[in-house]
Amino acid sequence: MPQTIAVLDFGSQLTQVIARRIRECQVYSKIYHYSTPAATLRADNVVGIILSGGPQSVYAKKAPHPDREIFNLGVPVLGICYGVQLMGHFLEGDVEHSQEREYGHGVLSIQRPGKLFAGLPRKLRVWNSHGDKLTKLPPGFRAIGTTENSPFAAIEDARRRFYGIQFHPEVFHTERGVDMIRNFLLGICGAKQDWTTNDFITHAVEKIRAQVGKGRVILGLSGGVDSSVAAALLHKAIGKQLTCVFVDNGLLRKNEREYVEKLYQRNFKIDVRVVDASSLFLRRLKGVVEPEQKRKIIGRTFVEIFQRSIRSIGHTEYLAQGTLYPDVIESVSIGNNPASLIKTHHNVGGLPKRMKLKLVEPLRELFKDEVRQVGTALGLPREVVWRQPFPGPGLGVRVMGDLTAEKLEILRNADAVLQEEMMTSGYYYKVWQSFCVFLPVRTVGVFGDERTYDYVIAIRIVESIDAMTADWARLPHELMQKISSRITNEVRGVGRVVYDVSSKPPATIEWE
């Protein structure tokens, strides 16, 4: 077991951010359910504990409480926000409930830098978001920093190595927050910085070899970041024992299939089987207009084709998937979870059980930014590692209404122009997503001396951190003008280009 910093999750939306910041300091971190027994943490070689924030009051009826024994493990503990109230509550201080949350910027004045604030200026802007407030220090503690609203904004018990901060060091709005986290990890916990990309790759390769032995592994390649990095990592570990399947569903972008073939077969010598199922997909989608129905048909057909191609490859024991850490964290959801189902996302979830396959998930400990680092270290090109997300149902949900080969062709051509301009201007890497949407609406125009009556292309370009919320990108007008005139000039069938200025919410990123 590597040395681990445990982040106990009390339901804050920032728990994952804390874990990422720790890993950015090259220390391994893992998120645990708030009630994890202290004995489990000890067995996992935990050398420090961070108590996350959370939306509750420690006095609430169902307030999440940790195992009291974590304070007797002899390892340092850092409480953040709700984490401080918990320390106050469990270690015999006083916490006052307040109806109003303190939210936003504050100024931290550091009285005693100690180990937590070592090397930092005495005044720092910090980000607050908390309701309850510590009003009496637990025995053994002293205040080391204050804000306008709180004499106990930062506290320590240096003997037991317990620290508490009312604000959030993990967000960028807090000045030098990462330095505070680093001080805790290195200066207080004495953690080793042994979580690096190359170490990860070496361990992952050993682990894959130990798991699969001489067995054959199948991986569904989508062309996206996760499956691409998984393929490169598996190939490094087991070479020819890996077979990738790439399904052409007829809903791909221009030249996508050729690109994937070339990259993996020629550059990496990976065995990629390309299955052309485009006519089956289009046949099944004929006349279907309702978005959820389209998604279901595409999802079901994909699983069917994928299953068939696995059978045709011969005896296989293992199915590899590019599952990431955020997919496997059992996040604590307290109160209303906003991520309720809005669109059906298809995956091959039920497949391993049905086909009696064992799962290989070499990326399941990584966050997205770590996956990108691994991909780069394995020699994947920038345009793959930094590829924008592309939905599983592909252009199927970007042609509004029913799908035809003609509409798909128009969309593909328009989108190719957009991608080219985004790449040459460098904006491709600055935004979250940029794509075209086909609108089955015909409008009047003039081309040369002739009247035209052609379709509309909508351009959707958004900025986002995690796709949960998004805002439309403010691009330079010259660039928008160039994209628009190139599309109307070069793409037959398009007479008008419009720009989508809706944010999410209320609009979603994809139109269907």
Question: Which residues are known to be catalytic?
Answer: 81, 168, 170
- Residues 257 and 248: their CA atoms lie apart, in Å, by 7
Q: How many residues bind ligand XMP (CB under 6 A)?
A: 14
Nearest to 93 by CA among 132, 146, 49: 132
Q: Report the nearest approach of ligand XMP to the CB of residue 369 (Å).
A: 16
Of 277, 223, 219, the closest CA to residue 247 belongs to 277
Backbone angles phi, psi at 463, to 5 degrees: -110, 140
Shortest spacing between CB 402 and ligand XMP, in angstroms: 18
Question: In 10 A of CB 410, how many CB atoms?
Answer: 22
Residues 482-511, interacting with ligand XMP (CB under 6 A): 504, 508-510
Minimum separation from the CB atom of position 390 to ligand XMP (A): 7
396 touches ligand XMP (CB under 6 A): no
CB of 113 to ligand XMP, least distance (A): 43
CB nearer ligand XMP, residue 54 or residue 391: 391
Q: How many residues does the chain have?
A: 512
Which residue among 391, 403, 457, 460 contacts ligand XMP (CB under 6 A)?
391
16/20 Cα distance (integer angstroms):
6
- H-assigned helices in 213-290: 225-238, 256-261, 278-285
| CA distance from start to end of the chain | 45
Per CB under 6 A, the list member of 345, 354, 430, 474 interacting with ligand XMP is: 345
Rg (CA), the chain: 26
Q: How far apart are CA 124 and CA 108, in angstroms?
A: 5
Stretch that binds ligand XMP, among 51-59, 159-167, 337-345, 486-494 (CB under 6 A): 337-345
Omega before 505 within 30 of 0, i.e. cis: yes
Query: According to CB under 6 A, which residues from 429 to 458 bind ligand XMP?
Result: 433
Min dist CB 511 to ligand XMP, Å, is: 8
**6 vs 225, which CB is nearer to ligand XMP?**
225
Q: Phi/psi class of residue 224: alpha, beta or left (left: φ > 0; alpha: ψ in -120 to 50)?
A: beta
C-alpha span between 136 and 268 (Å, rounded): 62
User: Looking at beta carbons only, is 448 or 506 nearer to ligand XMP?
Assistant: 506
Q: Which is nearer to ligand XMP, 73 or 397 (CB)?
A: 397
Q: Which of residues 119, 379, 389, 476 is near ligand XMP by CB under 6 A?
A: 389
* Six-digit token string for 153: 């904004």
Pairwise CA distance, residues 284 & 136, whole Å: 67
Applying CB under 6 A, among 48, 66, 322, 393 the residue interacting with ligand XMP is: 393
Q: Is 293 in the site for ligand XMP (CB under 6 A)?
A: no
Give how far the C-alpha of residue 34 lies from the chain's centroid of Cα atoms, to the nearest Å.
22
Please identify, using beta-carbon distances, which residue of 78 and 509 lies nearer to ligand XMP: 509
- The answer to whether 147 and 109 are in contact (CB under 8 A) is yes
Only one of the segments 12-20, 234-242, 269-277, 388-396 lies at the binding site for ligand XMP (rule: CB under 6 A); that segment is 388-396
In the complex, minimum distance from the CB of residue 438 to ligand XMP, in angstroms, rounded to a whole number? 16
Among 257, 343, 364, 368, binds ligand XMP (CB under 6 A): 343
Please say whether the beta carbons of 150 and 157 come within 8 A. no
- Given a contact cutoff of 8 angstroms between Cβ atoms, the answer to whether 392 and 298 are in contact is yes
Residues numbered 415 to 434 that lie near ligand XMP (CB under 6 A) are 433
User: Considering the complex, what minimum distance in angstroms separates the CB of residue 460 from ligand XMP?
Assistant: 10
The answer for 234, left when phi > 0, alpha when psi is -120 to 50, beta otherwise, is alpha
Q: Which CB atom, from 55 or from 220, has the smaller least distance to ligand XMP? A: 220
Stretch that binds ligand XMP, among 194-202, 262-270, 366-374, 390-398 (CB under 6 A): 390-398
- Whether 47 and 5 have beta carbons less than 8 Å apart is answered as yes
- Which residue, 333 or 508, has its beta carbon nearer to ligand XMP? 508
Which residues lie below 8 Å from residue 258, measured CB to CB, with a gap of 6+? none
* Nearer of residues 83 and 223 to ligand XMP, judged by Cβ: 223
Nearer to ligand XMP, 173 or 504 (CB): 504
CB of 47 to ligand XMP, least distance (A): 37
Candidates 60, 329, 467, 498: give the one binding ligand XMP (CB under 6 A).
Answer: 467
CB 126 within 8 A of CB 148: no
Q: Are 95 and 81 in contact (CB under 8 A)?
A: no
- Applying CB under 6 A, the residues found at the interface with ligand XMP are 342-343, 345-346, 389, 391-393, 433, 467, 504, 508-510
